[in-house]
Structure 1
Amino acid sequence: MQYTAGQAAQATGKNIATITRAIKSGKISAQKDASGAWRIDASELHRMFPMNAQDLRKPQMQSDATPLQEQSKSQIAALEQELAALRERVAAQFELLEERASQISDLREDRDRWRQQAVSLLADQRPLSTSDPKTTSKRKRWWF
């Protein structure tokens, strides 16, 4: 399928000037036909510019629409099941995160209590003073 510049602009939702500018800069390859209009290959156009979202929403016209509807219903059911399973996994992950957060909080409290106990024990240990007569004993030496 080939587009003219106007059709390409409509298919991508861009301005015609944007399409022709891309052609002239070499970002998109295109040829001019006998009338001087640009002919752009669809794959070349959509390589650079994705399709317009409105064009993607248009249903494809098919002769037997019933199998397509049945197929889409089964796909919807499968996707709903997958969504439910993913929601369960997310809920389980949140529960796990909450549990770990409470464990971390408990560990921090324990750490702070141990730190406080260690600081108080170190503060209780006073260095022995040499001027205290009870703690210092005058040792007699054998030569005196």
Structure 2
Amino acid sequence: MTGLTLSQAAKALGKSKSTLNRAIKTGRLSATRNEDGTFSINPAELYRAFPEPSENMRQERPVEQDRTAVYDDLGSRISLLQQLLEREREVVADLKEDRDRWRQQATSLLTNQDTAPATPLSVKRRRWWPF
């Protein structure tokens, strides 16, 4: 029996070629390399490594359960993202408060420097050379 090429196997499973190539490299899927460098994959080996869910299992799960699971998953993701957004808003508020305090401190230091008395000009400076 001839083997499948990487592209054919990917189409049969509904996976990407890179997924199958990674499985071959890690040893999860065995394949033989042809002389031209392509892989030949035995279909039995392909379905051993990537088993398809049986039709009975697909029919046993009601569609509504899948939908509620997706909605529950989305709801939990939304609540998690809302919590993260709230934390980020708190951090931003703290940073703005710190910025305002630093700005106020810098402004007060600059205004105090302007109003500080200048050094008197009448102080005689001593020269380093004695004459």
What TM-score does the superposition give when structure 1 sets the normalisation length? 0.49
Q: Residue 76 and residue 22 in structure 1: after superposition, are their counterparts in 2 closer, same or farther (change >3 A)? A: farther
Match of 1:69 in 2: 61
Letter paired with 1:94? L
Is 1:80–2:71 an aligned residue pair?
Answer: yes
What is the CA RMSD across the aligned residues, in angstroms? 4.1
Structure 2 residue corresponding to 1:129, chosen from 105, 120, 123: 120
Which 4+ residue blocks in structure 1 deviate beyond 6 angstroms?
44-47
- Where in structure 2 are there 5+ consecutive unaligned residues? 12-16, 18-31, 124-131
Aligned-pair distance for 1:74?
Answer: 3.2
Q: CA deviation at 1:25?
A: 6.6
Structure number with bigger Rg: 1
Name the SS for the 1:109 alignment partner: helix
Residues 1:23 and 2:34 are matched in the alignment: yes
Shift of 1:46: 9.3
Paired AA for residue 24 in structure 1: E
Question: CA 1:41 to 1:11, structure 2 compared with 1: closer, same or farther past 3 Å?
Answer: closer
Q: Which residue of 1 aligns with 2:107?
A: 116
Residue 27 of structure 1: how far off its partner (Å): 7.6
Deviation at 1:81, TM superposition (A): 1.8
Q: TM-score, normalised by structure 2?
A: 0.52
Give the aligned partner of residue 97 of structure 1.
88
Q: Percent of pairs identical after alignment?
A: 12
Q: Shift of residue 100 of structure 1?
A: 1.9
Structure 2 partner of 1:11: 9
Q: Number of matched residues?
A: 104
- CA shift, 1:120, in A, is 1.7
1:40 corresponding residue in structure 2? 42
SS of the residue aligned with 2:98? helix
